[in-house]
Structure 1
């Protein structure tokens, strides 16, 4: 897919999914879920303070089901139970802390555990690229080890396939494109690339270490004489740690004028997690991303 419009178009062509908005007092999230309902790809279920939600619904001229919850903890439990029971297909974060929502998601009795690592995948659209990029993990795992990076890659590859990328090209990012013993992330990148070549990581093509320019720009890769099936053509960027992923995502928005939509994957259902500063349009695209992966 080239841009978010294509992503939205595909979501509109899919069957409606039942989406639980946990902490539905968030007006911008309500606007997004209302737009998704009007576009025909979600059925909203709202969980939170009934009085506040009803007032916000009135302001946007909508009328959706509301499940009363006295506090965020109760809202998270009720929302997660709806998904774990099969009554809903995915979760969306509203006016609730991410940590509080994920605590419910990971509940051993009624949560959404699968045994897989939970990781964050962000789709990035910028004016300078003619394709969407997936970036992981800039929102969950602070400093992933090699084993966790394998799970992060596998989770991102599943998302890419749901975006019609049959064999995703995965770039393992570092500051340089050569292995340097003083830079552990370059060693991990080399190992992951070799594991892919030996069939230990499947359904994708991995190369690394690659600096960001070499990963996404064919011209930069050509100038540096990097010959690779991934260099300049990456679909997925795997960052060394949460800091670099967070910075990369926000710089795409605030420096290059792009857009970002993200979610947490690895649970029984996607968890659409958006920033409080995101507008309703960004949250709409994040919903579409979640629906395509539900």
Structure 2
């Protein structure tokens, strides 16, 4: 029996888009040479979120627009021959302050990120870059941030510290003043055989020592204890975070990617996402993302960019 088509929750990310209203964010869209990547940028423009600057082969960009029936009148195009050149040029534009954000088009994430982390682009900070999904699902009463399911494959403790702080900063940008952060593992007990439980305990102590600020941390926590008040009551577990987490910190990219896609495909979630830790936000979209998710990702980037301007 075929599966039913995936659908987003009604009004997904509407609150984010409304909160992000205002002057559009000038955004370099890197190599948007197919219908999906180009339409994502144009949809975000039509929502008033971004002013797209299309960077890539002009003939392919215009062909994609013709295929999708889109009018590119008034949209700036910076012609570059191939994706590698487009990524480097877009990163340079961001480093020079010519654009306020970067948006992935039809190229591999690794290719875009290599251009961003190149020191000549001037986008690196003292922080490790990391990705945060923001998920809205009927199964949970509030937005759920989840990190890192897209950039850091097997982060060590130092990298996890930056991953947690980046997510807390995004929560602040979204209007969550003191987010509750669950450091996930397979168990709530510290087990010397499971490295992620030791890292979780260390991260919580780092928060106690103000090496991580702005949120309330607890961990290790199993997934059920992080999000289910019923599981917390059944296990008689005492925690300031359990059952009502705002942020889920996963032990590895594989775990994060699986959780996000399971919520997206089986729990009716909508998933937006952004890369943090560079001097500008980076919007990573997938070919499988819906229009709502693409627009939601641009709203996230705009809110985070606005927060960066105020906080720095």
TM-score (norm 2): 0.90
The 1-side partners of 2:174 and 2:86 are apart by 31
The 1-side partners of 2:177 and 2:22 are apart by 19
Match of 1:227 in 2: 238
1:1-294 alignment runs, 5 A limit: 4-11=13-20, 13-58=21-66, 59-63=69-73, 64-294=75-305
TM-score (norm 1): 0.95
Give the conservation status (yes or no) of the 8 Å contact 1:172–1:210.
yes
Give ranges in structure 1 of 5+ residues lacking alignment: none
Give the conservation status (yes or no) of the 8 Å contact 1:91–1:269.
yes
CA deviations over 1:183-234 (Å, ceiling 9, x no partner): 1111111121122223332111000011111101112111111111100111
Secondary structure of the structure 1 residue equivalent to 2:245? coil
CA deviations over 1:116-142 (Å, ceiling 9, x no partner): 101111111111111111111111111
Secondary structure of the structure 1 residue equivalent to 2:292? helix
Moved segments of 4+, more than 2 Å: 55-58, 197-200
Give the conservation status (yes or no) of the 8 Å contact 2:40–2:295.
yes
Give the conservation status (yes or no) of the 8 Å contact 2:12–2:270.
no
The 2-side partners of 1:237 and 1:109 are apart by 33
Give the conservation status (yes or no) of the 8 Å contact 1:104–1:111.
no
CA deviations over 1:66-91 (Å, ceiling 9, x no partner): 11110111111111111111110000
The 2-side partners of 1:281 and 1:265 are apart by 21
1:3 Cα shift? 5.1
The root-mean-square deviation of aligned C-alpha atoms, in Å, is 1.4
How many residue pairs match? The answer is 292
Give ranges in structure 2 of 5+ residues lacking alignment: 1-10, 306-312
CA deviations over 1:27-78 (Å, ceiling 9, x no partner): 2222222122122121110011111212333412342111111011111111
Secondary structure of the structure 1 residue equivalent to 2:182? strand
The 1-side partners of 2:205 and 2:235 are apart by 21
